[in-house]
Chain A
């Protein structure tokens, strides 16, 4: 292990690798802050640059872009309630209320620190457990994967600020919208209404920008005579209250543990990690009453989970060749362009690349911290821009962001449709974040359900017979029952 880490340090600390790691995190953060452009767009944009670099340097830079953009997405979540990434939609729940209370600086500082903590935790997990966890992931069967995703969806519903019932409804609506397009198994076209542009399904960014960007502008643009922030940008304004430091440690550790675990499971990744982390914290925290209203734990947990998962997501990607997300699929593409085949033999065949990349994560996270704490003041100043400048600018930025994905005007119209849908749903107290999570996990869930049913010859008992799946489903049901109980009592009372 020490030899491997030494080899990694030797690779990661070359001047060019350090420079490209820094550039990657900086550009990633900058692109991630822009509404509409998340890690996927950031990595895709900078992928061609990496063609001209040695494989280690290329991967180090792209990894920096990836977690830099993840972090940048959280900044937009906190300041504007527009999550740059689906995983940072959880950060909106408490980060945005904190910003509205004039505590944006505190939220951003805690985001940076929690991200660093989670990131370093994830790196240690990769270094120590990569081979073991890869073997564990290999043991999972489709029934287990389905159950893991079900747990993710239930957790996303439970964390919904509009209540569990409405949360489950939004998750299910997201799952349904995710079925639009060509079915990969049968080739049948589903729910496209004959529209060719819908054959590949609806782009995730289009849904996210419509539901969050356009609907937020529709919801908040009026009353835009002043800006939110009246705070002055000073160091004191960045620092949490004395008790909040101590209160954040437990959530940071729990978030990192949860994030490290879910990051290793292909297909789950940061969104599930941050939503489950948030759901667990909401159960165990003594400050649970403040969740959704600007609780500091509500920022620390998703950010530490998110970044721990962002790091451990490299385990299935590098050791199994299974991308945990679309961004990881691009990473695999980048590796293959450089003639490196990801899989179980990557660590033994390319130890310099694997360990160099792992150690570079440490530097990347350090750069992220050093780079972003001084920039908090700049991000907070975004809030001081009067709303009459801010909202029209956001509308134009997200329109161009969505258009630039595929140069498709259909995407822009679809975004408008989702914006109107998001506005109507919010008006009737349906929070859109769970919809997005259902939209991402739904197609994968369907795939694993079909595979599980095929393997069990149509016997649904397979979900009970697999201990892992049974445990996940039991936890999901328990979570649902725990949160639905008071609501059911109220309903029974009102009917009586």
Chain B
């Protein structure tokens, strides 16, 4: 049963999100009247439709026997950490160090790379970011901070 449900995690996630919107609409927001719809009315309608559709999809998929899917952690984790690294490093050290850290961590998502290639990738990407965003497009980004 647990295995069957884990194969439906995507549908369950969508259904759960719809429920959050419904609960929020009913408990916190004003629903108003049909004439003067309140801020909660539309999310309640859309959330209700989504919950019904999620149940239909769940029943259909369980009957059809959906395959068990695996998350590729070796790719997901480095990419997620790369974006997080950018968000953590940029405010302290500037955009270029943030970009360097981001591309360095992201490079671990693509498998084994020689140190030379990895170094070349980081330097090339940071140089490209500087040329395109700061020199070319003149975006008001702080290249380095705290130096």
- Bound state CA distance, A427 and B128, in angstroms? 32
Taking CB atoms, residues of chain A closer than 8 Å to B140 are 407
Give chain A residues whose Cβ lies under 8 Å from the Cβ of B125: 392-393, 396
Tell me whether A388 and B84 are in contact in the complex, defined as CB-CB below 8 angstroms, given that A424-B9, A430-B10 are known contacts: no
> Which residues of the partner chain B approach A221 to less than 8 Å between Cβ atoms?
75, 79, 106, 109-110
A183–B43 alpha-carbon span in the complex (Å):
11
Query: How many Å from the CB of A423 to the closest CB on chain B?
Result: 6
Q: How far is the CA of A391 from the CA of B109 in the complex (A)?
A: 9
- B63 within 8 A of partner (CB): yes
Q: Which B-chain residue is minimally distant from A412 (CB atoms)?
A: B87
- Check B29–A454 contact: CB distance below 8 A: no
Whether A416 pairs with B46 at a CB distance below 8 angstroms is no
Within the assembled complex, what's the spacing in Å between the Cα atoms of A487 and B54? Answer: 15
B26 on the A face (CB < 8 A): no
B37 beta carbon closer than 8 Å to chain A = yes
A222 to B70, CA, bound (A): 14
A493 nearest CB neighbor, chain B only = B63
Tell me how far the C-beta of B86 lies from the nearest C-beta in chain A, rounded to whole angstroms. 4
For chain B, give the interface size range. Answer: 35 or more
Q: Is B145 an interface residue (CB 8 A)?
A: no
The majority secondary structure among interface residues of chain A is: helix
The answer, yes or no, to whether A325 is at the interface (CB within 8 Å) is no
Q: Indicate with 1 or 0, residue by residue over A342-370, a CB within 8 angstroms of chain B CB atoms.
A: 00000000000000000000000000000
Which listed residue, B34, B38, B42, B57, touches A179 by the CB 8 Å rule? Answer: B42
Given contacts A391-B109, A404-B139, A430-B10, contact A453 B37 (CB under 8 A): yes
**Bound: A340/B6 CA distance, A:** 59
Residues of A within 8 A of B53 (CB): 165, 168-169, 172
B129 touches A446 (CB 8 A): no
Are A392 and B76 in contact, CB atoms less than 8 angstroms apart? no
Judge whether B144 is part of the interface by a CB distance below 8 angstroms. no
Interface-facing stretch out of A125-133, A186-194, A308-316, A463-471: A186-194
Q: A424 to nearest B CB, angstroms?
A: 6
A171-209 vs B, CB cutoff 8 Å, 1 = contact: the mask equals 011011001000101101011000000000000000000
- Mark each residue of chain A from 386 to 405: 1 if its CB lies under 8 Å from any CB of chain B, else 0: 01110111011101100110
- Docked-complex contact A391 and B14, CB < 8 angstroms: no
A45 interfacial contact with B, CB 8 Å: yes
Of chain A, the residue at the smallest CB distance from B113 is: A388
Checking B13, B29, B87, B141 against A413 with a beta-carbon cut-off of 8 angstroms, the contacting residue is B87
| Complex interface residues of chain B between 26 and 64 (CB less than 8 A to chain A) | 29-30, 33-43, 46-47, 49-50, 53-54, 56-57, 59-60, 63-64
> B89 to chain A: closest CB distance in Å?
10
Q: For the complex, is B74 an interface residue (Cβ under 8 Å from A)?
A: yes
Q: Is A137 positioned at the interface, with any CB of B under 8 Å from its CB?
A: no
Contact A395 B10 (CB under 8 A): no
Distance in angstroms from B69 CB to nearest chain A CB is 5
Please name all residues of chain A whose beta carbon is closer than 8 Å to the beta carbon of B75 when the two chains form the complex. Answer: 217-219, 221-222
Give the chain B neighbours of A446 by CB distance below 8 A: 42
Asked if B91 and A409 make an inter-chain contact with CB atoms under 8 angstroms apart, the answer reads yes
Q: Are A399 and B76 in contact (CB under 8 A)?
A: no
Q: Is the CB of B106 within 8 A of A224?
A: no
Known: A416-B84, A491-B60. A428 touches B10 (CB 8 A): yes
A188 to B24 alpha-carbon distance, docked (Å):
12
Query: Sorted from nearest, which 8 A-B pairs have the closest CB atoms?
Result: A428-B10, A458-B35, A458-B34, A392-B106, A183-B39, A224-B110, A388-B110, A494-B63
Extra pairs beyond A388-B121, A392-B109, A392-B110 (17, CB < 8 Å): A169-B54, A176-B47, A179-B43, A190-B40, A221-B75, A392-B121, A393-B125, A395-B83, A395-B103, A396-B106, A407-B141, A429-B10, A450-B42, A453-B36, A491-B56, A491-B60, A495-B63
Q: Which residues of A contact B (CB under 8 A)?
A: 31, 34, 45, 165-166, 168-169, 172-173, 175-176, 179, 183, 185-186, 188, 190-191, 214, 217-219, 221-222, 224-225, 387-389, 391-393, 395-397, 399-400, 403-404, 407, 409, 412-413, 415-416, 419-420, 423-425, 427-430, 442, 446, 449-450, 453-454, 457-460, 487, 490-491, 494-495
Residues of B within 8 A of A (CB): 8-11, 13-14, 17-18, 20-21, 24, 29-30, 33-43, 46-47, 49-50, 53-54, 56-57, 59-60, 63-64, 69, 71-72, 74-76, 79-80, 82-84, 86-87, 90-91, 95, 98-99, 102-103, 106-107, 109-111, 113, 117, 121, 124-125, 128-129, 132-133, 137, 139-141
